[in-house]
Amino acid sequence: MLASAGSAAPSEYSFFLGGDLCQMGNQKNFLQAKDFDVQQRDVYPVLKEADKEKALRAIWESRCDGWWHYEEQYIKLGICTAEEFKETLDIQCAQSREERERTS
């Protein structure tokens, strides 16, 4: 069976970025700007498993769009604690509410 051009990422690329298409695109651009080798598998950006922790740390530290999709991985990899994640998410949600109220 032939693979489509969009699914040509080598097998070591097994960590898929998460979020909606816009968030994944923003994460892909962010990581590529930081010299990560991000491939594409169909519509999904994908990284080498070996780059996963470093990439997730960069996403967490920058609060790149869609950062909240990786809660379990952050905690498992020791990037943050559950409490730190919840506090940061609460701040993000409050900021988003304030922005919506200002613009409506």
pLDDT digits (tens, 9 = 90+) for 7-32: 567 788 999 999 999 999 999 999 99
- What's the confidence (pLDDT) of residue 32? 98
- What's the confidence (pLDDT) of residue 7? 58
- What's the confidence (pLDDT) of residue 66? 96
- What's the confidence (pLDDT) of residue 104? 79
Residue 13 has φ and ψ, to the nearest 5°, of -90, 95
State the pTM of this model: 0.85
Q: Could you say which residues of the chain have pLDDT below 70?
A: 1-8
- What's the confidence (pLDDT) of residue 8? 62
d(CA 81, CA 77): 10
d(CA 51, CA 38): 10
- What's the confidence (pLDDT) of residue 102? 86
What type of residue sits at position 7? Answer: S
CA distances from 69 to 7, 11, 101 (A): 23, 23, 24
- What's the confidence (pLDDT) of residue 3? 40
